[in-house]
Structure 1
Amino acid sequence: MLLSFYDLGKQPKIISEIYNKINSNIVEIDFVDYSLESREVELDTYDAIGIYASMHTATVLASEYLSNKVLPDKIFTFGLYGHVLSDGDSRIQYIESIDSDQLDTYLDLVTNDDFSFKETVPDRSIFPHISEYARLIKGDNTLITGSAETTYGCKHLCTHCPIPIQFNGRFRL
């Protein structure tokens, strides 16, 4: 089970990349985006759950959600704030990079050999329809919005924000 709690109104691309990496005939993957829906899930019925901790808001929402749940033995987190979630709960394993074998080893899975973080086109079929995501409400009209991310990282080294600390001045186009 993969869970996302908040990603600025966008489909959480990293979820689709993990889906590409571990999807096979012997692995069944479910996904809930709690920014769009609030359904009850019996998490302890899954072999493992993965939590996308994209930012502070998502991490707080995930912590609150998990606080009174019966959980499976394997819980992992990933994303910019993944280490914060795992530091706060010793049951949660932080996966620093899905491009390494860290996730495969933790889940004890043979992953998709064809997966490449840089080359594989993310499979977005696991997500709700794109029209469920970012929308602009203008008067009585609701418009679907979108964005394109053309950069990754942060050039700055300021200390008031956690993003520069994570990227340490690295920036890519």
Structure 2
Amino acid sequence: MRTWTRKNSLGGVKVRSELDAREASVLRSLVGSVIGMLDARAAEAPQDALAELTGMRTGASNPPDDAVLARLLPEFHRPDPDEPAAGRADLNGALRSLHEPDILDEKRASGTVILNTVPERGGRVVLTLTEADAWLTGLNDVRLALGTTLGIDADTPEQLPSDDPRSTHLEVYHWLTWMQDSLLQAVAP
């Protein structure tokens, strides 16, 4: 992948880069996997009569069991550990139920923008600033998902031994990090 560049055109600001066929395939696969996970979570949302009457969607009130989804859909509120458990309202459940459907929609829409703008066999990628913003969100979600799967934390070295089964995946993680940083620098004024 080439570094993202910013160009002014008659149609407005465009951000450009190029992916080879292998990079396009890897990116499309990773984004598709994240969208699939988000779709499955959306399908788990409870259906109730009030939501059908009012048109207000509700989401699950429980956090995801899957570690990757839990990282993509974290808790809204961290209770004060000094507060007695009996006095705590289930604020996270209520907030999750109200907001998770919209969050899922936004995350899936961002991933869809990536899938719609990455040529299947690689090639030139030209984005509007709105599409670039969706890319930044989608790339972040893919990095969070991959980082959670690999167990990446502050103590993870930059490079793993070649016999570590995560080493190739860590290189993909670093590539996604570089791509996101390059895009952010091209988008920033």
Quickly name the TM-score band, shorter chain normalised.
under 0.3
Which structure would you say has the larger Rg? 2
TM-score normalised over the length of structure 1: 0.21
Greater fraction helix:
2
Relative CO higher for 1 or 2, CA cutoff 8 Å, sep ≥ 6?
2
Greater fraction strand:
1
TM-score normalised over the length of structure 2: 0.20
